[in-house]
Chains A and B, each alone.
Chain A
């Protein structure tokens, strides 16, 4: 057996726990956070794949891969795989995200090696049986149609089509493009798999009742023989900076209206926003926290508590490798649609009309930093966070750098970021004919 590698680096994550980073000879990165408190191991295996790696004309291949990866290998049938996982009460899930592909598993400690071995077989030797691919295509198409039932998803779909250029991987709100999914064949899945599923494009992050040397030994045992393909990896698509993308959009419409027979209207405002690698990322995260996070957030207090306009008022600013989006929304009674839109817009405009007060800034910082600590409680959270940083290319030290960036923000930096990124809102409305009538009038 090969000698075990030494840790490349390590970082303290929470409550005295240490995350250690190792690399196998084939380039596979292994992160392990030893946490003996509960007799559980959580694993997050990140593959540099996801929507940004989908070939042109195959929007949906990443989703279909995720759905069929557990449906057969060169040796095991779909039923045998399910039986192995479920007979030990483990959980194993596969999903795709815009910037990566993720296999998650969780077991009690004594079953961990068995299930990790199964995961290794799924990741290296999937067979994509034709009948399973057909079933999952059918379910994917159904899922896309079912989204038409959700007012929130409809609003988000309208907004993303207005924010991102046609065909951009971040437009997707669901499995992918129905016409393109209908055309996908097992050969397309094999092609996608062979291109991106390779040890030098993968990070295994573990947290739980497991020693670092065991973790590395296990990974060596089940992934160590996986060779690195000779052909180089292609960079992901669609990751040009925000300004370049905004320029490429030209003068397309910035309002999207969808009618649906619903009791309430969804009002959504969005802006293109910096990727995790851009300098204003931390400032926008802080603005997001200020506006949207919790019962004491600006939008909750102003629009729900003071104006009574909504039950739910919130937003999101996903962390992305490429240009992200900064979105705020609320659900309101149909006859309040116009006033809700005006108030929401006024809150966004306010950020670039006057800087935050020092106290507002400090409160938002302390809220964000406290939430960050509270977000590292479970093994799954720890494994996910550290693996994700590594997979995004930020490295595990980002766990310390991010809070430092937040702590060092000042009023002016946050104000400049708002002025730069929160101009010219894109609007998306979903509601009954009557509710959205004023915006439907022919121009």
Chain B
């Protein structure tokens, strides 16, 4: 055999780019966390600012507020006019973007190292002193409306939101990040300012800087450009959201829509939260066992052998309080029922029969290499550090490959039994119809 398969040699930890220089974690007096990593072999710096201000922090009556604020951050402050930052950053080729999630919002930019300082100064100013001007607020609501329209035109998005609602009823995790089909009509700029004032505070944020700048430069930048107003914000105590419960039956939602050709089916379960981190890593492995590549169980069975489906994808979304494990299938409508049955059989097997070592090794290798491949660029590293800093502990960003490689068949079997019931799950289907 010209190819020598020897899984044992893979157990050596693999050198990743991030290992050359350590990540420095500094907590400033005001509570702000600063993460920095010096990577000199690149002319680039990424700044990624994470805020513990996602959907879960929204007042229940104002769904979509966290996302509206993400838009409004870029609308300027008393000293930075709207678009001024975009022009400054982009005229050097820099890139800026932002995203809102259930547990966080984050804002990042990538810039040439020698252009960093003025861009950083403005990004920090926008985040700390967002003014949310009335006129800009009205204009932006129109834009968010088209963003919501666009989402509802996407059948995959619609199915995913529906199944989340079944897994997380009466919890912010169950509604779209964008809010509902329309923004609340009473939503005002004052709501947005309050939300900003309460949550965009130093103890609630992490600033990550990765790339060609030294630790001293990083800390100095933060000291000189991040000044919160001295008047302390009046901060409401967090109301803790209602606890999450596993799906205790088959919860089914069927939808039909014109204008599509293939059906969708998404099955979902409640998974572990971020504090049960090793279990969460087990779920990354389970999703690869099921749909990671052509040798995976569902791809090889349903797509390659039976030919019943067009595609299948499985994913585990780690969340603070409880993650969401999904299996999504694109298929001919006539196979909807039988495909659901086959998936249930596979879930049953996961709980009954330990995963063979060879299969487990292959999946571990895929997950670990995916991690290595996905942490090659400074913006990927910065995102990783920020994510874990806000959701759990920074350490998780480094122990991930080792913990993945330490998982054994028994652990996975126990996880499947505990979380992935073959009879209790949420399922949404979307079928074409002709009206």
Contact = CB atoms under 8 A, between A and B. Distances in A.
B344 to A, nearest CB: 24
Interface residues of A, number: 70
A311 B304 CA distance: 39
Interface stretch (A233-241, A243-251, A257-265): A257-265
B90 A294 contact: yes
Contacts of B295: 79, 82-83, 86
Given A37-B20, A305-B82, A311 B95 contact: no
B53 to A, nearest CB: 21
B17 A374 contact: no
Interface residues of B, number: 72
Which residue of B150, B260, B310 has the most chain A CB atoms within 10 A of its CB atom?
Answer: B150
Contacts of B361: 87
A401 interface: no
Interface in A73-116: 78-79, 82-91, 106-108, 114
A143 B310 CA distance: 8
Among the interface residues B20, B90, B370, which one has the most CB atoms of the partner chain A within 10 A? Answer: B90
Given A149-B260, A294-B86, 6 more contacts: A38-B15, A79-B295, A86-B365, A88-B365, A89-B369, A108-B14
B139 interface: yes
Nearest to A294: B90
Nearest to B96: A295
Contacts of A145: 261-262
A59 to B, nearest CB: 20
A331 B293 contact: no
Contacts of B372: 38-40, 108
A225 B26 CA distance: 57
Nearest to A121: B2
Given A37-B41, A108-B369, A311 B143 contact: yes
A357 to B, nearest CB: 14
Interface stretch (A21-29, A43-51, A344-352, A360-368): A360-368
B147 interface: yes
B15 A263 contact: no
Given A296-B90, A333-B146, A373-B43, A379 B376 contact: yes
Contact of B93 (A83, A304, A374): A374
A209 to B, nearest CB: 9
Contacts of B376: 38, 40, 377-380
A310 interface: yes
Given A40-B372, A82-B293, A305-B83, A373 B93 contact: yes
B16 interface: yes
A149 B259 contact: yes
B146 A264 contact: yes
A377 B92 contact: no
A15 B112 CA distance: 12
Contact of B42 (A301, A310, A377): A377
25 contacts: A37-B41, A38-B17, A39-B372, A79-B300, A86-B293, A86-B366, A87-B7, A87-B361, A108-B369, A142-B262, A143-B310, A263-B152, A293-B90, A296-B87, A297-B90, A308-B140, A309-B142, A310-B143, A363-B91, A366-B93, A369-B93, A373-B44, A374-B95, A374-B110, A380-B376
Interface in A401-424: none
Contacts of B112: 370, 373-374
Given A135-B307, A260-B259, A311-B147, A370 B369 contact: no
A358 to B, nearest CB: 14
A139 B304 CA distance: 11
A400 interface: no
A380 to B, nearest CB: 8
Contact of B2 (A117, A138, A301): A117
Interface of B: 2-5, 7, 10, 14-17, 20, 41-44, 74, 82-83, 86-87, 89-96, 110, 112, 115, 139-140, 142-147, 149-150, 152-153, 155, 258-262, 292-295, 300, 304, 307, 310, 330, 361-362, 364-370, 372-373, 376-378
Contacts of B2: 117
A84 B3 CA distance: 8
A89 B368 contact: yes
Lowest 3 CB-CB distances: which A-B pairs, in order? A370-B93, A89-B365, A89-B369
B143 A308 contact: yes
B369 to A, nearest CB: 3
B151 to A, nearest CB: 9
Given A37-B20, A39-B15, A263-B153, A377 B366 contact: no
B192 to A, nearest CB: 17
A146 B261 contact: yes
A37 B3 CA distance: 27
Nearest to A88: B365
A14 B155 CA distance: 42
Contacts of A146: 260-262, 310, 330
B146 A310 contact: yes
A90 B369 contact: yes
A172 B185 CA distance: 44
Contacts of B139: 305, 308
Interface in A297-317: 297, 301, 304-305, 308-312
